[in-house]
A and B are shown apart, each in its own frame.
Chain A
């Protein structure tokens, strides 16, 4: 892992369907300035800028980091652009942390964003290039069969997804930045919404959001001078596997299990459910909570839905998942992973506000992407490792 690295600043925009009040540059700058303010720094203190977002087709701007250089104060500095599909927000944070861990820089600004209102993500994901015809419409079309397979494999009852959809939206009511804030959210409300991709109903899927999130990552030296408590990186890892091949377990992909095992080993964690205080996990469709509970080793195979049903992952449960409301409540795609990483950091910094998990000292941030084949995770803690 190299040198110690800490999160000393976090900034988020409010997530909305349309942020017509700002340009793309205005959007990323809003998040960046909030992160800098939290860190007690200005652009002049930053050594390098790392930008992440999902496919450029989502806004129709190719490699937009070049255009964003001015707004992010990157002139005269190194600037990189990461793109690893849906996991990109997590990967971007890890690439930025890597610059500190590799001893290259002391203060790195990392920003991830998406402005989905500029285009239509579902259609950007449903192109028809020659030779590789797309057989699905949007991400839900790809993931629904894997959810079906999970239900069949574990015998999970049909209402589990609804429970997650309600729980995460209840948490979102405590998060001022969340996009979907639905007063009185209930099982009846979720179950009354149309079926989009069987078994995923409208309110069991993530919204399309405009938004950006940013962090300032710092070396131990720089973290000492930060005005607010740091979150220390205890472990970080990425894993990828091919999308299609015979015998691939698409319900609990090995890349996810391997990635989690790597991060836990770095952080000295043997039982994540008991040794972590909360987790911000990429759950864009409700059923991915029980699926990832198993994949990430919070329980045995076939047990994930039982944890959800018993309320273990609720804000007052023994292992709260997505206290911020998660991807189900805010989804600027390219930023969604970084938001998970940043919310995990806010929990161990004690700065999560109304959705703070009492006494959280260690938290997991998780992101996945592509055909559930790209993973990025980190564990952060309030103590320096």
Chain B
């Protein structure tokens, strides 16, 4: 099989509040950016990830096509998942051998999900992704379920201070990342939902991200130092919380094993709550020598549906800049880390 690499990545300067831009307006400049950096105006395949419920209307991805320039008509598809899965679909498509380049993008404008009292409605909105018969009617919001998982993790022998350390490090890294939000160092905070404090939870974020994949020689032409995908795999766990051990992630461990999650220098994890990073470190076998989320990760910017794709782009950037030789990116889908994707990239092309 031919080798496939990330050859370009662009993201918006993510915003913590509504900047007045529509989704298409968020997307258009970053798509233009990768077109310019690669010199490509057409791609063999295009795939995106977005969520209708963020806009509260069907077909969010339809108007997004206006940002791509889909004329003459393009070969294109869409997943109602984080765009990391759109990248997976594009990676599969490039393996067929008849096309050499793919455009992948994701976007999320979370600022438009607002409750009547002015607070973010996102945690409550995500209740709608639960089993509609037995779970959703109970009304657990996303933060409460995350807290349940955090509690399960702490009960397995960990300390709340471990969560704080993740939050402090993530926010500091985010302040150093021009694309992430500028969030203050966590001080004394009340619980959001115990044991999680506000800084353990993802900030409301608007943003978009784009990646260009290319195969074989085309990748070498388009990029001086492509980030070659050495392994990519995703796995799902059962949905019912009672049917899995929330303190661990079997699906992340399995995906990591199959994608080759070892000997990596940097890992970008789609950990939207502090404890998720710790669960994922365990599942993926990441030791203390691995730099985790040097971008600040989702705790510093979480444009839902692009957040996982950004992990792949940020990890690829460490290769493309020459900082690292082997990196790992992770994306998650579904409540409490139900599904997990792991992508391992290298500077060296062994193919």
Q: Which positions in A face B, CB cutoff 8 Å?
A: 1-2, 23-24, 54-64, 66-70, 74-85, 91, 94-95, 98-99, 101-104, 124-125, 127, 129, 131-132, 237-243, 245, 253-255, 258-259, 262, 370-371, 373-374
Contacts and interface: CB of A to CB of B under 8 A. Distances in A.
A339 B85 CA distance: 25
Given A75-B236, A80-B88, A98-B92, A56 B131 contact: no
Nearest to B65: A242
B162 to A, nearest CB: 27
14 contacts: A2-B96, A63-B333, A66-B335, A68-B239, A70-B238, A99-B92, A102-B96, A239-B74, A240-B46, A240-B65, A240-B70, A242-B70, A245-B71, A259-B73
B85 A80 contact: yes
Contacts of B135: 67
B338 interface: yes
Interface in B50-85: 51-53, 55-59, 61-63, 65-66, 70-81, 85
B79 A81 contact: yes
B272 to A, nearest CB: 15
Contacts of B250: 76
B73 A240 contact: yes
Contacts, number: 185
A240 B74 CA distance: 5
B61 to A, nearest CB: 7
A66 B334 contact: yes
Given A55-B58, A63-B81, A240 B238 contact: no
Given A56-B80, A79-B339, A373-B62, 16 more contacts: A1-B96, A55-B58, A58-B58, A61-B136, A62-B53, A63-B129, A66-B239, A83-B61, A85-B62, A98-B89, A98-B96, A124-B58, A131-B22, A132-B63, A240-B75, A262-B75
Interface of B: 1, 22, 46, 51-53, 55-59, 61-63, 65-66, 70-81, 85, 88-89, 92-93, 95-98, 125-126, 128-133, 135-136, 233-240, 243, 250-251, 254, 333-335, 338-339
| Prevailing SS type, chain B contact patch | mixed
Among B62, B135, B338: residue with most chain A CB under 10 A? B62
A62 B126 contact: yes
Contacts of B333: 63, 66
Nearest first, the 9 A-B pairs at minimum CB distance are: A55-B58, A66-B334, A255-B73, A102-B95, A2-B96, A240-B76, A83-B80, A62-B128, A241-B73
Contacts of A243: 62-63, 65
Nearest to A3: B96
A23 B133 contact: yes
A241 to B, nearest CB: 4
A268 to B, nearest CB: 15
A104 B233 CA distance: 10
Interface centre among A24, A64, A101, A238 (most CB of B within 10 A): A238
Contact of A83 (B55, B76, B78, B240): B78
Contacts of B240: 70
B216 to A, nearest CB: 15
B254 A76 contact: yes
B238 A84 contact: no
A344 B216 CA distance: 36
Contact of A127 (B58, B132, B235): B58
A56 B1 CA distance: 36
B93 A102 contact: yes
Contacts of A98: 89, 92-93, 96
Which of B46, B80, B238 has the most chain A CB within a 10 Å cutoff?
B80
Contacts of B335: 66
Contact of A56 (B22, B53, B77, B89): B53
B92 A104 contact: yes
A132 B22 CA distance: 10
Nearest to B132: A61
Contact of B71 (A74, A84, A242, A374): A242
A77 B128 contact: no
Contacts of B128: 56, 60-62
B235 A103 contact: no
Nearest to B125: A62
Contacts of A94: 77
B52 A79 contact: no
Contacts of A374: 76
A84 B77 contact: yes
A1 to B, nearest CB: 6
B236 to A, nearest CB: 5
A262 B233 CA distance: 30
Nearest to B62: A370
A94 B89 CA distance: 11
A16 B97 CA distance: 42
Contacts of B238: 69-70, 75
A239 B129 contact: no
B139 to A, nearest CB: 14
A85 B48 CA distance: 13
Contact of B233 (A78, A80, A237): A78
B129 A2 contact: no
A139 to B, nearest CB: 11
Nearest to B69: A242
B165 to A, nearest CB: 30
A241 B74 CA distance: 7
Contact of A66 (B59, B77, B95, B129): B129
B235 A76 contact: yes
Contacts of A59: 132
Contacts of A60: 128, 132
